[in-house]
Each structure stands twice: as C-alpha cells, then as structure tokens.
Chains A and B, each alone.
Chain A
Amino acid sequence: KAGVTQTPRYLIKTRGQQVTLSCSPISGHRSVSWYQQTPGQGLQFLFEYFSETQRNKGNFPGRFSGRQFSNSRSEMNVSTLELGDSALYLCASSLLELMAGSPLHFGNGTRLTVT
C-alpha cells in the first residue's frame, strides 16, 4: 500500500506570495490533517479534514486554509506569506476521524522557505 505522498518536496517563495501544498492520503483513509514544524515551536496542528469537511482547527491565522476533495486528497493554502511561515509542513492521514482510535500516517513533508 502506498504511503502518504506530499508534493512538492521543497518550495521557495517570496514574502507576500501565496502557496498551495498537496497531500495524497493512503488509499481508503478519509481523514487528512496538516501540521507545521519549526525548530522553535516544534510540531503544531493546523487543521483536519474528514469527508471534505474541516472538522478540527488549530490556532493559526486565517491565511492558512485548506480543502479536501471527494477522493480524500487535500490541499493546504497559505496566502500573503511571511518569513515566519518558513517551515516543514506535514500532512497525515488516518482511517477514522482525528485520533478516534486509529493512528496517523505521516508524509515526509514539504519544506517551505520564504525569502
């Protein structure tokens, strides 16, 4: 079974631009959640989508948004990029809704650098 796939692997953007990251979950998984990882803040939960609906949300500004398609693939968008948005963005899929007893399977992330 193929794992969680995130594209692109690396991305360089300029302040003020916007960016879209993509995540393809494991086949059959309906929940996709997104995380930001930085050296200073560690791993932080962004949001979760389940059956195309946002079910849970972390403490991030509205510049961070996402969506999920009918095939469970998900995209995350960050608008008006700031230098502090430079991070490793991880996506994870799971069979059930967030942590409802089934583990998360993470992709290897997209490394975003904002200059």
Chain B
Amino acid sequence: DAKTTQPPSMDCAEGRAANLPCNHSTISGNEYVYWYRQIHSQGPQYIIHGLKNNETNEMASLIITEDRKSSTLILPHATLRDTAVYYCIVRVVAGAGSYQLTFGKGTKLSVIP
C-alpha cells in the first residue's frame, strides 16, 4: 500500500522558498500525489497535485522525482499566512475496485518573520 512519510516540522524565513519533502516509495504507477494544507480550525485546502511531470500553479510548484518515490512541494515566497500543516497524500487500494485515501501526519510549517 502506498503510504507517505513527511518530516514532522519545518521552519522557513518569511520571503524565502519553503521546500517540503514527501516520501511515497510504494506509490503505484497510475497514482496521483496530492498536497493539501490545513490551517487551525479549518478544513484542508487543496494546493496542487501531479502524476509524473512537475506541476506549477498560482500557489506552489510540485517536483516529482523520475522514479516517483518522492516529491517536493515548493512555496516560492513564503508568507506568515503559509503557516499550516501540509499533507502529502496518495490513494491506496483497499480491496477489489475500492480505494481509500491515506494521510500522513503532515509537516507543520512555521514561517518566521
């Protein structure tokens, strides 16, 4: 089953790039990697997802290694509002034709002024 491993916490200086790693070494060839973040007392917010190629949107960039066993979420210019818990998630096969999502513990990113 594909599972994810993330560092429990990271600090980043305001205005600098935040690079959040995720290991998903057992991911299947057709499984997407999704990134969400959660600010206290709110539901998780979608950031970005990818399959094989690197992706970029208005929020972040996603770099996926060629073997797809790990990925890095990049927030190019971190602000104080980016302080949150960041989750890297993949879909797991739960049985014949059924799936469930597996969330790791996430990385608590603290952006420091």
> Chain A: residues with CB nearer than 8 A to chain B?
4, 33, 35, 42-45, 55-59, 90, 92, 98-99, 101, 103-109
B44 touches A45 (CB 8 A): no
B101 touches A45 (CB 8 A): yes
**Smallest CB separation, B15 vs chain A (Å):** 27
Q: How many cross-chain pairs have Cβ atoms below 8 Å apart between A and B? A: 57
Count of chain B residues with Cβ under 8 Å from any Cβ of A? 22
User: What is the interface of chain A mostly: helix, strand, loop, or mixed?
Assistant: strand
B100 touches A101 (CB 8 A): no
- Determine which of A42, A101, A109 lies in contact with B105 in the assembled complex, contact meaning CB atoms within 8 Å: A42
B99 touches A98 (CB 8 A): yes
- Beyond A58-B100, A99-B34, A103-B46, 4 additional contacts (C-beta under 8 Å) are A4-B43, A57-B100, A105-B46, A106-B46
Residues of A near B100 (CB, < 8 A) are 45, 56-59
Alpha-carbon gap, A59 to B44, bound state (A): 21
Chain A residue with Cβ nearest B41: A108
With A43-B103, A56-B99, A57-B98 in contact, is A99–B32 under 8 Å at CB?
yes
